[in-house]
Every structure is written in C-alpha cells, then in structure tokens.
Amino acid sequence: MRPHKRLKLGQQPNARATGVIYLLYFLTAVLAQLLVNWKLVVFGDVVNTIAYGLYVVLTLLFYLLFKPVSRWLSLLAALIGIAGSILGLLDLFHLNPQNISPLLFFAPYCLLIGALIVGSTFLPRILGWLMILAGLGWLAFLSPRVESHLSIPIEAVGILAEASLMFWLLVKGVNVPRWIEQAGTALGGA
C-alpha cells in the first residue's frame, strides 16, 4: 500500500459552505416562483437569474466535494448541471429555440450526484438513494401523462431529496477524516 500524499487545508471539503449556497439557491428559487405567481414577472426573472447563478456555484462546489469519489463522474455531473443552468436561463428569456426542457439535464444531474454520494464514504448513502429517486422522478416528469397524474409526488420526492442533502451539509457537513482518506486514495491512485 502506497503512502497517501498529504492534503493541504484548501483541498479539504467545505461542506457547510456548500450547504449555505444550496440554501441560498433554494430560497431564491422559491422567491422567484412566488414573484412570478404574484405577476411580478420581471422581478421573478431577475431573482431566477440569481438562482441559476447560485446553482452554477453549487455545481462547482459539488464537483470539488465529489472529485475524490470519481473525478470523471463528478466532472460529467458538473458539466451537465452547468448545461442545465444555461438552458434554464435561455428558457427564462425565451431564447431556447428548440424548447428543450432543463429537466433533461437536471434529472441526470440528480442521478449522478446520487451515484457519487452512494459511492462516497463521507456522506450517508440514504442521501444518495434519495437523489437517485429524485432524478428518476424528474425523468418521469418529462412525460406529459406522468406529469399530469404524479406531479405533486414527484415534486415532493425531489424537494425531500435535495432538502435532505442541503440540511445534512448545513448541519453535519461531511465526515472529514473519511473524505480525506478517500481523497488520499484518489491521489494515491492517480
């Protein structure tokens, strides 16, 4: 067994900061929806733009957090998450000529984040399985038949999964010794 390279402080996870960005994203996304529902569409669009910016930051933080689990899977998730955010912004300003649903990106993003959590040693696997379930729900949500009959349960599972992950990161963070061990193993195998 090879000795692990020593990790610097900056290479360690900042899970609570990730949780804070996640919370800010949630709050701005909900506020944007409320503003649109109250017919304050311009304000809603501005807040939605901020929410998408926060989601991009969150995506990058998740990339760093899950890089020790699988650099390539984490990178793929980040690229998909950023592409979904860009598509959502284009949709917001009616610049999506193909009318492609951002869920085509966010569903696989949830699936990948779920798989990364399940493969990690530093977060509870149940959070990963919840994210996988949410991703499957978002995929099913793309079908008009499913959406009309199951939209509330699918949205509830999605909110439960993401809120659980967000609150876990805010309150508990990650098991730092296990994250460092997994990161060290990833460096040792590189």
* Domain coordinates in residue numbering, the chain: 12-189
- 42 has pLDDT over 80: yes
Backbone angles phi, psi at 85, to 5 degrees: -65, -40
Computed over its alpha carbons, how large is the radius of gyration of the chain?
Answer: 17
Under the banding of pLDDT at 50, 70 and 90, the label for residue 147 is low
| pLDDT value of position 149 | 76
Percent pLDDT > 70 in the chain is 91
Residue pair 187/71 in contact by the 8 Å Cβ criterion: no
User: Which has the closest alpha carbon to 168: 111, 136, 112, 126?
Assistant: 126
Question: DSSP states of 46-100 as a string?
Answer: HHHHHHHHHHHHHHHHHHHHHTTT-HHHHHHHHHHHHHHHHHHHHHHTT--TT--
Q: What is the mean pLDDT of residues 5-28?
A: 80
Indicate the pTM of the whole model: 0.89
Per residue in 49-90, pLDDT tens? Answer: 999 999 999 999 999 999 999 999 999 999 999 999 999 999
Tokens of 41: 């569409």
User: Which has the closest alpha carbon to 139: 98, 91, 95, 80?
Assistant: 80
Q: CB-hemisphere CA count at 13 Å for 55? A: 28
